Amino acid sequence: MLETFIQGMHLLLRWDIYFFIAAGLCIGMFVGAMPGLTTILALSVLLPVSFKLEPVLGIPFLVGLFKGGIYGGSIPAILVGIPGTAASIATTFEGPALTRKGHGRKALEMALFSSVSGDLISDIFTILLIGPIAIITLMIGPPEIFAIIFFSLVLIASISGDSGLKGAIAALIGLGLGFIGTDAATGSTRMTFGFMSLSAGIPLIPLVIGIFALPEILLAVESRAPRFVSQFIGYSNTGEKLRWKEFKSSIKTILRSTGIGTGIGMVPGVGQVVAAFVGYSAAKRASTHPETFGEGELDGIAAPEAANNAVNGPTMVPLLTLGIPGDTATAILLGAFVAHGMRPGPLIFQEQGPLLYAILMSMVIANILFVFLGYVLLKPFAIAIQIKKSYLIPIILALAFVGTLSTGDNSDLIIMLVVGFFAYILRKLNFDLAPLIIAFVLAEPVEYTLSQTMLYAKGSILQYIFVTRPISSAFLLSALIWILYRAMRSFSRKRT
Amino acid sequence: MSFKLSSEKKFFNFYLKSEIAASILIITIGACFALFMPHMIAKGGMVQAQDFIRLSPIFFPRITFAVLSILGIVYLIQILKIKNEEQIEETLSKEIVQNVSIIFLFVTIYTFILPYLGYGIASIIMIFSLSYRLGNRIWWQLVLLSFFIPLTIRIIFERVLFIYLPRSHFEILGAWEDKIVKIFLNLFFII
């Protein structure tokens, strides 16, 4: 394993990797800082760019984009109380109060350093942990993988958004879309309705752009306000720099939040938003002066920012070892891995170990680069929040179309348009679309692993799973118990 | 006595109707796909494989759409139980519908003219009209924006990343676009 790791480090001895990571960080930070735009929008629009690059360049570019975006969201959250991304909602509890007190710069720098610290520690933890987990996953077979995918889908669908029911419907729509095209087990084509272009299935790029980019654009133009943020941001009034003493006093909070974020990151479907809230409330509970929370407390910035960034690394563990994306960003990353001929799963560390370690190490490099880039770019991006929609929206739309056209098939534009229209309606009806895209990318593996399980079972599948495969049966039973628990809880809530 | 609905009430009714329509659509699609799934499988594939593994290509999609239909019914029941506005958080107004419809129309037109006019010309039209619609009234900015963005995208994506972008079906337009790109590329390399 050490040898593979060293080979991976050798792959990183190229200047262009650092260039693409830095480019990803800058674009991500910029998009994250725009309250009307999300990091997922940037990931979906720029996903095709990564396809055209080597995997060791393209995937770190996307990783940088995501990391930059999560931090970028805290800039408007602190300065004007509008979160740039959902992950920075908890940052608005303290950020605006600190800005009003004249400590906006301290808050921004605390957010930067705690984000980088949380992310860096969780990335190192991920690199140390992923090898042994990969070895364990080699011992499991298709029945276990099927059960884990099924369990993950149930978990993701049930805890996404406000309503588990809508999450489940979104996941089933995603599965349904994923079944279009050629069945991997038998080679039959399904639900193509005579369109030859659908025989290979719905392509990922127009689907992702349709689901995430087009609705974002439509949501951004709902109001005719010329800018995303109407308040004036005067960066010169944000006060003094953060002092080492102030950062030192928050180290304990950062470490606690990193632990929380790392744990949450390993569970599929929970994500940054929950981690940030849990991190914030844990910091408040542990504080010797909880009454100051809400009135501008630097610990209240460090806690959610360290927690939401610490989620990033561990989400790679189920993705790379089992091929299960835990959230939308990792579902898009899975698409990038597959496009580069890498199928995440138990065998990937044997087949492409050095490349994977190079990608994992690029996450650490991204954090180191981010300390400098984030510090330098704080001021320009804080001012750029006020950019007019009339400049930005046409550029994003033009890029979204280029992304779709990268498949080389003009008919994909129609797929993007139709998917985008329905995705916007679903968003307006409060459907969370993360389960949809995750289920879409898992449709083929879930069906294929069940086919393999049936082959092993030789006709008596229930007996095979529940008698001879304890891990598989444990996951399936857990999923069933979870469904029953959620259904009963929802029923009893309505009655009361 | 007037029975005119307040704007909140109107919105509540509209939103509720949208939810009901969505749930009915989900139920219908789920039920139809589950019932007619055997007719949606094209002939071919490895029939022997289907016998061997005992998992036909119908099995999973059929279960998925059947469960979707059932959840659609639960969703419909939930909506019908909603009795007051307080249970609805989302906002939708006439202004939102109007703004979104216009922009979506722009996007639709762009989608259909792009393969015929080519990426460059179609993007110039789209960026100019979209930027104008979003409030930009400074003419020189509109012209610069709508000219340089497609040009920059074309140079970066086509020449650097090798992403093919559609050329106009009309030879005159296509030739002009190529000439302009070439001039700017030469300029770039000279600089």
Residue of chain A minimizing CA distance to B57:
A183
pLDDT tens digits, A271-299: 888 899 999 999 999 998 888 898 889 99
The predicted model gives A23-39 an average pLDDT of: 88
- What kind and span of H or E run contains B147? helix B139-153
The predicted model gives A331-335 an average pLDDT of: 90
Q: What is the DSSP letter of B85?
A: G
Three-state SS letters, chain A: CHHHHHHHHHHCCCHHHHHHHHHHHHHHHHHHHCCCCCHHHHHHHHHHHHHCCCHHHHHHHHHHHHHHHHHHCHHHHHHCCCCCCHHHCHHHHCHHHHHHCCCHHHHHHHHHHHHHHHHHHHHHHHHHHHHHHHHHHCCCCHHHHHHHHHHHHHHHHHHCCCCHHHHHHHHHHHHHHHCCEECCCCCCEECCCCCHHHCCCCCHHHHHHHHHHHHHHHHHCCCCCCECCCCCCCHHHCCCCCCHHHHHHCHHHHHHHHHHHHHHHHCCCCHHHHHHHHHHHHHHHHCCCHHHCCCCCCHHHHHHHHHHHHCCCCCHHHHHHHCCCCCHHHHHHHHHHHHCCCCCCCCHHHHHHHHHHHHHHHHHHHHHHHHHHHHHHHHHHHHHCCCEHHHHHHHHHHHHHHHHHCCCCCCHHHHHHHHHHHHHHHHHCCCCCHHHHHHHHHHHHHHHHHHHHHHHHCCCHHHHHHHHCHHHHHHHHHHHHHHHHHHHHHHHHHHC
Give the range among A87-96, B18-27, B79-88, B145-154 with minimum mean pLDDT: B79-88
Residue of chain A minimizing CA distance to B56:
A186
Residues in A closer than 8 angstroms to B73, CB to CB, are none
Is residue A143 over pLDDT 70? yes
Report yes or no: A204 and A335 within 8 Å, Cβ to Cβ: yes
Interface with chain A: mutation pick from B24, B103, B164, highest number of A CBs within 10 Å = B103
Subunit contact B123:A176, Cβ cutoff 8 A: no
pLDDT of residue A2: 80
Residue type, A434: A
Is residue A348 over pLDDT 80? yes
Residue of chain B minimizing CA distance to A178:
B61
Nearest to B126 among A390, A397, A429 (CB): A397
Residue of chain A minimizing CA distance to B150:
A398
What's the CA gap between B165 and B168, in Å, rounded? 10
Share of residues in chain B with pLDDT > 90 (%):
45
| Residue A190, strand partner residues | A181, B41
The predicted model gives A24-33 an average pLDDT of: 91
- What pLDDT band is residue A28 in, cutting at 50, 70 and 90? very high
pLDDT of residue A494: 66
Structural domains in chain A (count): 1
Is residue A490 over pLDDT 80? no
pLDDT tens digits, A359-412: 999 999 999 999 999 999 988 888 888 889 999 999 999 999 998 998 888 889
Residue of chain B minimizing CA distance to A220:
B100
pLDDT tens digits, A165-208: 899 999 999 999 999 988 877 778 888 888 888 888 899 989 99
Residue of chain B minimizing CA distance to A218:
B100
Nearest to A447 among B60, B89, B166 (CB): B60
Share of residues in chain A with pLDDT > 70 (%):
97
Distance from CA of B99 to the nearest CA of A (A): 6
Residue of chain B minimizing CA distance to A418:
B108
pLDDT of residue B93: 75
Nearest to B130 among A185, A393, A454 (CB): A393
Nearest to A165 among B74, B132, B146 (CB): B74
- What pLDDT band is residue B124 in, cutting at 50, 70 and 90? very high
Average pLDDT, chain A: 88
- What pLDDT band is residue B3 in, cutting at 50, 70 and 90? very low
Report yes or no: A71 and A39 within 8 Å, Cβ to Cβ: no
Nearest to B145 among A49, A391, A410 (CB): A391
Residues in A closer than 8 angstroms to B26, CB to CB, are 169
CA pseudo-torsion sign B132, B137, B141, B147: positive
Helix (H, G, I), strand (E, B) or coil at B41: strand
Paired tokens of A193: 């309705």
Range of the domain at A116: 2-495
CA distances from A106 to A238, A284, A354, B136 (A): 8, 19, 40, 36
pLDDT of residue B2: 42
What's the CA gap between A324 and A320, in Å, rounded? 8
The predicted model gives A18-46 an average pLDDT of: 89
The predicted model gives A223-244 an average pLDDT of: 79
Residues in A closer than 8 angstroms to B92, CB to CB, are 428
In chain A, positions 123-182, which contact chain B (CB-CB < 8 Å)? 165-166, 168-169, 172-173, 175-176, 179, 182
Average pLDDT, chain B: 83
Distance from CA of B163 to the nearest CA of A (A): 5
Nearest to B108 among A186, A417, A430 (CB): A417
The predicted model gives A433-448 an average pLDDT of: 91
Distance from CA of B59 to the nearest CA of A (A): 9
Residue of chain B minimizing CA distance to A452:
B53
What's the CA gap between A344 and A267, in Å, rounded? 17
In chain A, positions 415-434, which contact chain B (CB-CB < 8 Å)? 416-417, 420-421, 424-426, 428-430
Subunit contact A191:B75, Cβ cutoff 8 A: no
Three-state SS letters, A94-126: CHHHHHHCCCHHHHHHHHHHHHHHHHHHHHHHH
pLDDT of residue A96: 87
What's the CA gap between B41 and B56, in Å, rounded? 10
In chain B, positions 40-99, which contact chain A (CB-CB < 8 Å)? 40-42, 44-47, 49-50, 52-57, 60-61, 64-65, 67-68, 71-72, 74-75, 78, 81, 89-90, 92, 95-96, 99
- A226 close to B (CB below 8 A): yes
pLDDT of residue B69: 96
More confident residue, A256 or A464: A256
What's the CA gap between A213 and A397, in Å, rounded? 8
Residues in B closer than 8 angstroms to A395, CB to CB, are 127, 149
Report yes or no: A88 and A71 within 8 Å, Cβ to Cβ: no
Is residue B111 over pLDDT 90? yes
CA distances from B106 to A276, B112, B165 (A): 38, 10, 20
Q: ipTM of the assembly?
A: 0.88
Subunit contact B45:A221, Cβ cutoff 8 A: no
Interface with chain A: mutation pick from B134, B158, B159, highest number of A CBs within 10 Å = B134
- B163 close to A (CB below 8 A): yes
Q: How many Cβ pairs closer than 8 A exist between chain A and B?
A: 194
Is residue B49 over pLDDT 70? no
Subunit contact B99:A223, Cβ cutoff 8 A: yes
